Structure formats: structure tokens, C-alpha cells
Structure 1
Amino acid sequence: MSAAARAHPLLALRNIGKAALADFRILGITTVEQLATQDADTLYVALCRKTGTRHDPCVHDVFAAAIHQARTGEALNWWQFTPARRDRQQRGDFPAV
């Protein structure tokens, strides 16, 4: 286990660095187990509302990748979740903030 992962378990996830960890702190997410029960849409909207800022939709992709890894153990790059999110945006099925 890396020193970062020992410092905070969420940092053991592939796509989680200082910025995403800060976002999770804002959202009250502190463990991988807790993250596994979350929904990327819900987290993205909550982050935007709590910070009063419309965050880049790639933040949603990072959330989706982290949730996927927390649930399955499969570590995929965040950009692998981008096409599905973009499709949803084009259909108007992505959460409005």
C-alpha cells in the first residue's frame, strides 16, 4: 500500500488525487465502502450545489470511475466513462445543475 493510500484510503483508487479527495470531503465521503454506495449523478449535483459552482462534467466521470472501482475492484481510467456521459448530455439526460 502506498503512503498516500495509508494517509487516506480513497487515495488508493486509481483516479483519486488531491482535488477529488477534497471534493469527497465536501460531500462527506470518507471511505471506499461509503463511496461504493453512491451515485455519480447525485454526487456531481451535490458538489455543484454545495460549492455554488458548475464543475466541469469530467468531475462526474472521475466520480463514476471511482464508484465503479469501489464496487467492483476494477480500476478503469476516468475518461473511459466520458463517452457515456457525453451521450447522456446530448440526449438531455445528464443532471442539470
Structure 2
Amino acid sequence: MHPSKVVRKNVKKLTDLPNIGVILAKKLHYIGIKSPQMLEGKKSLELYRLMCEQSGKREDPCLLDVLISITDFINGGEPRVWWYYTTERKKSYQI
């Protein structure tokens, strides 16, 4: 969902999260994340590595930006577009 449309109190399913559509919701399901609540306490880099392992290839680094956006949101951050996190990813993560 586009971050501008996200209403925290209405987040019930993965596609209610900022930047998550049907395809990314399926990728999250493949690694065992079935609901937004299951993201609580998860680290974005760990989720990214699980997705890479599950797919058998190195996923696009922008996927990590999306994962940072949803873990930040779940932990109380504002819903933001995924590319807001690109600079943070480039500074903080070696992938």
C-alpha cells in the first residue's frame, strides 16, 4: 500500500503495510511472516537474508529498503516511501 494511504489502526494484513503489495506479501509468507504483528521484534536485515535464502539468489538491495520501512513502521515510525530508507541502508548495511 502506498504510505500516504496507511492508517495504523487499520493495519490488519500485510498488504495494509506501507510499500507492501501482493507480491511482497507472498515473499513475507514464504519466510513465515503471515501478519503485521509477526514483524514485531524482527530485524530488516535478517528478513532480507531469509528472503535471499528462500529464493536462492541475492535479492535486489531495494527490497531491504522496503523491509526497513515496514520494521520501522511496526516499531512506531511514520509510514514512509521505501526510498526514504535507501541512504540509511547504504550507510548501515553491507549486503
With the length of structure 2 as denominator, give the TM-score of the two structures: 0.80
Cα distance in structure 2, aligned partners of 1:40 and 1:94:
13
**Residue in structure 2 matched with residue 3 of structure 1 by the alignment:** none
Which amino acid in the other structure matches residue 80 of structure 2? Answer: L
Question: What's the Cα RMSD here?
Answer: 1.7
Q: Given the alignment of the two structures, is residue 50 of structure 1 paired with residue 60 of structure 2, yes or no?
A: no
**Residue in structure 2 matched with residue 87 of structure 1 by the alignment:** 91
Which amino acid in the other structure matches residue 20 of structure 2? Answer: I
Structure 1 moving runs of 4+ over 4 Å: none
Identity of aligned residues (%): 28
By how many angstroms is 1:73 displaced? 5.2
What are the ranges of 5 or more consecutive residues in structure 2 without an aligned counterpart?
Answer: 1-9
Which has the larger displacement, 49-58 or 67-76? 67-76
Contact 1:36/1:68 (8 A) holds in 2: no
With the length of structure 1 as denominator, give the TM-score of the two structures: 0.78
What are the ranges of 5 or more consecutive residues in structure 1 without an aligned counterpart?
Answer: 1-5
Larger Rg: 1
Name the count of aligned residue pairs: 85
Pairing partner for 1:35 from 33, 39, 51: 39
Matches within 5 A, 1:41-80: 41-72=45-76, 74-80=78-84
